[in-house]
Structure 1
């Protein structure tokens, strides 16, 4: 979309060992003129921690920690804590992230009152093996987008190759909290390949295996967005925490397009109903922005823009994203202009309700 301005790279890797391979996919929390940035920091061997820096205004880095603010502590996080997002609900910050043990990826979160000390709350996504997941999906395959079977089949072949002896669990990532409770419950976007689903819960303790078995058996009713357009032909996932506007929840998400055996990741936008975010009000029919610059097209993983955080200054929506899995960059668009463009697309057919 030519209404987007790209401001370039604001964070790059350093000689510090924890971020010597790359920095990417930042969570952002705006407080007045300050933007707190929690980014994925990668060291040699593709081990990830979460680093921190502070911005004065949307672009100027004025402080940067020389050590990680969050690092692996549990077996599920052995290979890294990755791709954070952050939301504030009442007086508490919710930092969600992907826990990666080298084989499996789970969605987890931690809370904080001061953005300095974080209290881990653990994994909130299903701990189901692919065998268990596939049985639940196959039982209801006529109701569910058949693409949900692709991920299972892919990893089933992977397992049968005998390269891995451990149990392989279903991957669930891109965990993003809404900034307020909806109907008294936490509302969280997540991604069971290839779509974006919504999860409501009162407490993490209720997210038992039985809960997830029922949830996945009725997965269709939890899907918010499924891949629809050419630039989404592989999969999509929640990007930045939804922004509450008078027109609805503004969701900046990512899509993966498979072309000639290579992926291109785009930034996309949709508008969800304020009272019932399962309901899609509008959705852009073209990407919000795509890899066009050298720092987006060349890097650890080529052709990637991966939006994960936002801030608003003078009606300008700044979108913070990982570029080519190597650095952190920023793009912006007037938020009213974006909402106007979205409302032009209101003929989006709601997936249910």
Structure 2
């Protein structure tokens, strides 16, 4: 992994919050970031995570969420008095219940050259189930069995879970439903079956015992998952050289098959929640075997728009594409406010 580098293709974001229009009257876009990515015909498709919230009201906190109204999941806005003193502008606890202050959905963007994108004005996938009541976040796209599988984080008051949807044309989309219960996220489906079985990466969220780590699971139908195996975790707990992945770790886009094995990109975060990107290599025939890992991050927040934003000091990828000539472009969210692109190069 030491032979790879990530080279930014632009010193400016290719998409920013200002490029995306709100999908709901009276709302504003707080962030457009963390896109899934794939090739579709002669286009590059991104599925942006778009975070929206009601326009501010003085002295009030407005919480957008999906509520059950007579058996129908319905978009509602709860309003509370603003708490005294400082509080987290993204997550608040009000009257004993924790809420997100924005609601995320997936928005489609298209490009021919992979740099200049046209963003749809309406959501591609909007929260529509009670297990998505706090939003849909950070999708990954994998083409397999003639369909594009979209794994995403479905957030509700029960925590983050993993939802799956499929499409063939990026016009219509069918939800499969939850495939992994909370707390879990960062799911990427392998683009080929191995030993006749579907495989995916996922990240259970450790609590009192355990540390953040990436796991492997398998399925015979792509819906029901089992045989879960620990793959690897952050090394910063034991070695100061790896402090950049000592706080959090999670998988990125779908693995890419190379001559050496399955190449995966993952993110690590330190104790201050500064995020970085790195690589790992898994065995072709048995991806539970880790053959190699980065000893240093390939991309860290350096530019102003990567260091400052809705959630500062973040570079986070859940989408990359491989061009016919072998080039790999990595699309990454920056500070939860925009999208950058870098090319994966081998020395």
Normalized against structure 1, the TM-score is what? 0.75
Q: Name 2:300's counterpart in structure 1.
A: 290
The alignment partner of 1:175 has SS state of strand
Structure 2 residue 103 is matched with structure 1 residue 47: yes
Which structure has more strand as a fraction of its residues? 2
1:10-159 equivalent positions in 2, closer than 5 A: 10-14=14-18, 16-18=21-23, 20-31=29-40, 33-44=42-53, 45-61=101-117, 63-126=118-181
Contact 1:198 1:278 in 2 (8 A): yes
SS in structure 1 at match of 2:13: strand
Per the TM alignment, residue 307 of structure 1 is displaced from its structure 2 partner at its CA by 0.8
Q: Is the 8 A contact 1:29 1:311 kept in 2?
A: yes
> Are the equivalent residues in 1 in contact too, given 2:179–2:224 (CA < 8 A)?
no
Query: Residue 305 of structure 2: SS of its match in structure 1?
Result: helix
Q: Match of 2:221? A: 203
CA distance in 2, matches of 1:205, 1:277: 20
Cα contact 1:33–1:57 (8 A) shared by 2: no
- Going from structure 1 to structure 2, the CA distance change for 1:32 and 1:206 (only over 3 Å counts) comes to closer
- Aligned match for 1:257, one of 236, 248, 270: 270
**Candidates 312, 315, 333, aligned match of 1:322:** 333
Cα distance change of structure 1 residues 205 and 291 upon mapping to structure 2, 3 Å threshold: closer
Q: Secondary structure at the match of 1:21?
A: strand
Which consecutive residues of structure 1, in runs of 5 or more, have no partner in the other structure?
127-169, 338-353
What residue number does 2:6 align with? 4
**Match in the other structure for 1:244:** 257
Show structure 2 runs of 5+ residues with no match.
Answer: 54-100, 206-211, 236-241
CA distance in 1, matches of 2:257, 2:113: 21
Query: Which residue in the other structure is 1:175 paired with?
Result: 187
CA drift of 1:333 comes to 2.6
In structure 1, the partner of 2:70 is: none
Distance (whole Å) between structure 2 residues aligned to residue 255 and residue 239 of structure 1: 10
Q: What is the DSSP-based 3-state SS (H/G/I as helix, E as strand, rest coil) of the residue aligned with 2:299?
A: coil
C-alpha separation between the residues in 2 aligned to 1:269 and 1:85?
17
Question: Once the 2 structures are TM-superposed, how far is the Cα of residue 102 of structure 1 from its aligned partner?
Answer: 4.1
Query: What SS does structure 2 have at the residue aligned with 1:9?
Result: coil
Aligned residues: 278
RMSD across aligned positions (CA): 1.9
Higher share in helix? 1
Shift in alpha-carbon separation, 1:12–1:196, aligned structure 2, 3 A: same
For 2:140 and 2:222, the matched residues in 1 are separated by 18
Q: Is the 8 A contact 2:160 2:183 kept in 1?
A: yes
Native 8 Å contact 1:94 1:110 kept in 2? yes
Shift of 1:5: 1.9
Report Cα offsets for 1:42-99 as digits up to 9, x if no partner. Answer: 10131001001111122122x3210000001100101111101100013111000000
Would you identify which runs of 4 or more consecutive aligned residues in structure 1 move more than 6 Å?
none
- Alpha-carbon distance in structure 2 between the residues aligned to 1:20 and 1:98: 19
> 2:269 and 2:320 mapped to 1: Cα distance?
20
Which residue of structure 2 lines up, in the alignment, with residue 189 of structure 1?
201
Contact 1:233 1:256 in 2 (8 A): yes
CA contact (8 A) 2:322 2:329 kept: yes
Distance in 2 (CA, whole Å) between partners of 1:72 and 1:33 is 29
CA contact (8 A) 1:108 1:175 kept: no
SS state at 1:230 partner: helix
Q: Secondary structure at the match of 1:20?
A: strand
